[in-house]
């Protein structure tokens, strides 16, 4: 199973310093920021605290929170079942090389004739692609020491958006042509480790993953940012679902959340405002951790021609 190494996480050091006033914890946090090359990310978080305040939800008469939660629950269950099937099939296609794979709830996408998903593991960030009964493994991000894993994948026609973490938070645009992935462009060189994503008509929306720092919804086309209301403001966005072709159902949580407290925010993409934000204590959207799934190889899954020498981008 995959576990987060808390000795490598920066925020707990600040928490320990605030609780104990032990200066060594502060020095440890600063050392981790430097070692993981995340100074720019943390500096940006401070600027957001200073100049980007939480949004204020705008109440609407016709909005029903319980109805939205029920619709989101149905989508989440379908998405999770779909993701589990993909992982089981991939484990079978790998022919026993791997016994477990990790992927976030937004770490995969269905294609016209198959699927693509990115690995969420500790320093393992392979891209698996099955298309036209051919299976390939792209090692492109494995060669980047700053990429720890794949945060999210969003498909828009033949365009594939891939977001990475943690030291190097990229948002890259790829093309799916003739059953192969081709690198197209790096859209965000920094601050692109987006953990949630959704396409609304012809626009692409993403949710950020900053731990205990201001988080927001980002629109790729307009480049606008809408900061989450409190209490979601300092919780990373782990789930984003489309309701009624206009509303973004967002689930935010803390990375070190032992109480299972989550926050549900609803964003109206037409009026560009949040219309709902409140704590949610249900277990409908819980996973381990951050909605990862674990799978074991099933011999009954269909096989396909396998190639691990997929063409890599230059």
Write out pLDDT tens, residues 45-79.
Answer: 788 889 899 999 998 877 888 999 999 999 999 99
**Beta-carbon contacts of residue 171 (< 8 Å; ≥ 6 apart):** 161, 162, 163, 186, 187, 188, 192, 194, 206
d(CA 196, CA 188) in angstroms, rounded, equals 15
pTM attached to this predicted model? 0.82
Which tokens hold the place of 117? 């998903």
* Integer Cα distance of 106 and 53 in angstroms: 27
Residue in 194, 219, 180, 196 with CA at minimum distance from that of residue 307? 180
Whether pLDDT at 131 is above 50:
yes
The reported pLDDT for the residue numbered 264 is: 96
Digit-coded pLDDT (tens) for 159-191: 999 999 888 899 999 999 988 999 999 999 988
Pick the CATH number of 65-307 from 2.120.10, 3.30.420, 2.30.29, 3.40.720: 2.120.10
In sequence order, the 6+-apart residues with CB closer than 8 A to the CB of 144 are 125, 164, 168
Q: Which two tokens stand for residue 44?
A: 């940006």
Strand stretches in the chain, DSSP E = 108-111, 114-118, 127-131, 134-138, 147-156, 159-166, 171-177, 180-188, 196-200, 203-207, 216-219, 225-227, 236-243, 247-253, 262-268, 273-280, 305-307
Q: What is the mean pLDDT of the chain?
A: 82
Strand, helix or coil at 161? strand
The domain locations on the chain are 6-51, 65-307
Residue 124 in this model has a pLDDT that exceeds 90? no
Question: Which has more pLDDT, 82 or 123?
Answer: 82
In the chain, which residue ranges form alpha helices assigned H by DSSP?
Answer: 11-20, 23-35, 39-51, 65-93
pLDDT 10s digits, 261-293: 799 999 999 999 999 999 998 888 865 434 444
Cα–Cα separations (whole angstroms), residue 107 to 147, 149, 276: 15, 10, 26
Tell which phi-psi region holds residue 170, choosing left (phi > 0), alpha (psi between -120 and 50) or beta.
beta
């Amino acid at each position: 199973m995959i576990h987060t190494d808390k000795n490598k996480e920066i925020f707990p050091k600040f928490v320990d310093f605030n609780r104990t006033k032990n200066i060594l914890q502060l020095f440890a946090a600063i050392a981790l920021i430097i070692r993981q090359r995340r100074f720019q990310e943390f500096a940006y978080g401070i600027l957001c605290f200073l100049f980007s305040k939480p949004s204020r939800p705008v109440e609407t008469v016709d909005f029903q929170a319980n109805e939205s939660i029920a619709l989101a629950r149905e989508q989440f269950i379908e998405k999770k079942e779909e993701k589990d099937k993909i992982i089981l099939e991939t484990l079978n296609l790998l022919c026993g090389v791997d016994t477990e794979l990790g992927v976030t709830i937004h770490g995969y996408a269905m294609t016209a004739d198959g699927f693509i998903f990115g690995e969420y593991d500790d320093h393992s960030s392979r891209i698996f692609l099955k298309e036209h009964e051919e299976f390939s493994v792209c090692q492109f991000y494995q060669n980047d020491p700053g990429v720890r894993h794949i945060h999210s994948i969003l498909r828009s026609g033949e365009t594939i958006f891939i977001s990475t973490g943690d030291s190097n938070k990229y948002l890259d645009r790829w093309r799916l042509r003739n059953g192969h992935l081709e690198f197209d462009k790096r859209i965000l060189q920094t601050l692109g480790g987006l953990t949630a994503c959704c396409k609304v008509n012809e626009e692409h929306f993403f949710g950020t993953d900053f731990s205990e720092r201001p988080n927001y919804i980002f629109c790729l086309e307009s480049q606008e940012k809408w900061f989450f209301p409190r209490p979601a403001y300092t919780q990373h966005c782990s789930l984003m679902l489309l309701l009624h072709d206009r509303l973004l159902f967002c689930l935010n949580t803390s990375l070190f959340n032992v109480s299972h407290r989550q926050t549900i925010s609803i964003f109206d993409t037409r009026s560009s405002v949040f219309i709902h934000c409140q704590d949610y204590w249900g277990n409908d959207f819980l996973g381990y951790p951050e909605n990862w799934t674990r799978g074991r190889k099933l011999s009954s899954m269909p096989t396909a021609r396998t190639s691990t020498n997929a063409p890599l981008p230059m």
